[in-house]
Amino acid sequence: MLIYLSQWIPCSRDIAVLHCNKSNALYSLGRWREAAFSAYESLQWDPEYVKAYYRAGHSLIMLSKSFEAVSAFHKGLSLLNASADQSQVADFVAGIFISVNGERVLPPTYFQAHTYIFSAGFGALIWQMVIEKLAQKGKWQSCLLLFSERRELPADLRVNQLSLKKLFETYEFCGLDDRMQQAAELVKWLISIGANVETIGTCPLHAIIRLCIK
């Protein structure tokens, strides 16, 4: 059908939109390989159609292709101009971190994207939205990866909607609970940006963290 329509639609952007919409529909049906293919078809018609990179990235995440997913989000992010909606920028940055959630070895594309992200000078609002998106999706390992770069984040960053309990359960799961000094420093930083200390929880590690804070 799309091949037929392409004979009658002169604008390549319009055809790219059709393929991207098809990708979105396929993704919703759980047909991620086909969704990724349709997203790339969209980009063949218009390599600067940002939404297609977003659709490709999320489809590749579901296919466990972190290398390609990070690359897709990075390319899309680099096409967004200064006037782009901040929420859209946050979606792409979050996509990069979600792509490597749970990965023991970070793909080379992540380090390329990392350099771009932290040299772009994104403001506090964008980073707030990124962290909230990661937390809402339960991507706590991605949160910890981002927080390891907290010195690169804006000094005026504020984040209220963050469960320290979930975050530090992941901290334990990843085998980081023997680094108590680092844990205490992370908790103090999180509280300084607005996280609620009452969300830490009552398990032994969390009780020790409370003691470190006091």
Query: Would you list the domain boundaries of the chain?
Result: 64-212
pLDDT-derived band at 2, boundaries 50, 70, 90: very low
Q: Is residue 199 a contact partner of residue 162, using CB atoms and an 8 Å limit? A: yes
| pLDDT (mean) for 2-28 | 78
- What pLDDT, on the 0 to 100 scale, is given for residue 67? 96
- What pLDDT, on the 0 to 100 scale, is given for residue 204? 55
In the predicted model, is pLDDT for residue 129 greater than 80?
yes
Closest CA to 73 of 99, 48, 49: 99
Closest CA to 55 of 86, 34, 24: 24
pLDDT-derived band at 101, boundaries 50, 70, 90: very high
Amino acid at 39: A
